């Protein structure tokens, strides 16, 4: 099959990723083989590719070199084959969810991380949902505990997780303010935000507004400034954060927030998102009801994975980047760059 492959860790996708012909994966009795129709790129794609920060390697992705063929983690496609112990799925079923090495024509997956593809979405749109949508759902529902009538600030509202968080907070009945850059304000408004702050022109921490819930989906705002945006009993959920640190990569804010939270009236915290079919089905219901949609910025061919990751790193993405996996005729491995 045709797949993107990676032999070592590094920060530059164009130096690491190439397209090759490799063996089609085999599956165990409790797995399914998915014919991948589309996959997607998010910040986690780069972390897995680069092996940074170092705890990524300890999380099971390989200590010295990548454990998996490529850093793809999201997919939408059709079930090609099922293991002997699998029930509830059959060849031909359209699914979306999480797996490993999804920048390929086929990927093995656990049924516990798959759900029926939303009928309202194309494969490309569905591939944009799994990790970003599930993370946003858990941030809004399980950790932010967003309620109707509350005020919610979403930092990074135009990103993968943020674009879903805006919609999910609105669906919960909250008044939502999104923070993004100038060129992305239109998207955030279209997603349903009641107010949009251009962070290049205004400082959300100094404008005097206080919020019941703040969802930081990828910034690096200091913890003290995030606290200043909260009501006295407000709730802060740090979903992500980016620095150049090779050891913690910005997660030091999460650690400090967790340690400080028991001693103050505000609730500060973070979490590691769970990958599960239950939340995928919840998202499917919201999508089919027209409450949530996938904001896709661009779609790339399988040969364009490195270009997609580079575009993500440039910081200009509005919503999600998707990789369309079209069937190809097997050819000898040319080692072409992905």
Both 202 and 172 in one domain: the answer is: yes
pLDDT at residue 332 in the model: 41
Are 188 and 128 in contact by the 8 Å Cβ rule? The answer is no
Those residues whose C-beta lies under 8 Å from the C-beta of residue 329, and which sit 6 or more positions away, are none
Both 140 and 187 in one domain: the answer is: yes
Both 78 and 110 in one domain: the answer is: yes
Structure tokens belonging to residue 171: 């669906």
Identify whether 309 is part of a domain: yes
Are 163 and 319 in contact by the 8 Å Cβ rule? The answer is yes
pLDDT at residue 325 in the model: 96
Are 205 and 186 in contact by the 8 Å Cβ rule? The answer is no
CATH number, residue 122: 3.90.180.10
For the chain, the domain total comes to 2
Both 125 and 142 in one domain: the answer is: no
pTM, two decimals, is 0.94
Both 28 and 66 in one domain: the answer is: yes
pLDDT at residue 49 in the model: 96
Which domain covers residue 124, as residue numbers?
2-129+294-337
CATH number, residue 188: 3.40.50.720
Which of 227, 255, 270 marks a domain boundary? 270
Both 196 and 235 in one domain: the answer is: yes
Q: What are phi and psi of 202, to 5 degrees?
A: -140, 150
Both 148 and 262 in one domain: the answer is: yes
Both 78 and 43 in one domain: the answer is: yes
pLDDT in 10s for each residue of the chain, 338 residues: 999 999 999 999 999 999 999 999 999 999 999 999 999 999 999 999 999 888 889 889 999 999 999 999 999 999 999 999 999 999 999 999 999 999 999 999 999 999 999 999 999 999 999 999 999 999 999 999 999 999 999 999 999 999 999 999 999 999 999 999 999 999 999 999 999 999 999 999 888 899 999 999 977 889 999 999 999 999 999 997 665 556 555 577 888 888 999 999 999 999 999 999 999 999 999 999 999 999 999 999 999 999 999 999 998 899 999 999 987 644 444 456 77
pLDDT at residue 241 in the model: 62
């Amino acid at each position: 099959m045709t797949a993107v492959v990676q032999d070592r860790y590094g920060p530059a996708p164009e130096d690491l990723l190439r397209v090759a012909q490799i063996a089609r994966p085999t599956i165990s009795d409790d797995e399914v083989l998915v014919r991948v129709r589309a996959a997607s790129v998010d910040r986690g794609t780069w972390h897995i590719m680069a092996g940074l920060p170092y705890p990524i390697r300890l999380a099971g992705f390989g200590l010295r070199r990548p454990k998996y063929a490529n850093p793809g983690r999201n997919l939408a496609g059709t079930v090609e084959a099922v293991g002997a112990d699998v029930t509830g799925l059959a060849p031909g079923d359209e699914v979306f969810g999480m797996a490993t090495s999804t920048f390929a024509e086929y990927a093995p997956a656990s049924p516990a991380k798959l759900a029926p593809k939303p009928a309202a979405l194309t494969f490309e749109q569905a591939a944009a949902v799994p990790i970003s949508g599930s993370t946003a759902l858990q941030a809004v529902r399980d950790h932010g505990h967003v309620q109707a009538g509350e005020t919610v600030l979403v930092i990074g509202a135009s990103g993968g997780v943020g674009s879903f968080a805006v919609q999910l907070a609105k669906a919960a009945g909250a008044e939502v303010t999104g923070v993004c850059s100038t060129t992305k304000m239109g998207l955030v408004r279209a997603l349903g935000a009641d107010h949009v702050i251009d962070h290049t022109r205004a400082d959300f921490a100094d404008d005097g507004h206080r919020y019941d819930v703040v969802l930081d989906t990828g910034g690096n705002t200091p913890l003290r400034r995030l606290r200043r945006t909260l009501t006295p009993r407000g709730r802060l959920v740090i979903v992500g954060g980016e620095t150049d640190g090779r050891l913690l990569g910005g997660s030091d804010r999460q650690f400090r927030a967790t340690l400080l939270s028991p001693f103050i009236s505000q609730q500060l915290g973070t979490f590691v998102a769970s990958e599960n079919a239950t939340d995928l089905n919840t998202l499917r219901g919201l999508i089919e009801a027209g409450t949530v949609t996938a904001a896709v910025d661009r779609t790339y061919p399988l040969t364009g994975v490195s270009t997609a990751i580079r575009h993500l790193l440039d910081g200009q993405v509005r919503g999600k980047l998707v990789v369309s996996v079209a069937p190809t005729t097997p050819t000898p491995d040319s080692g072409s760059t992905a």
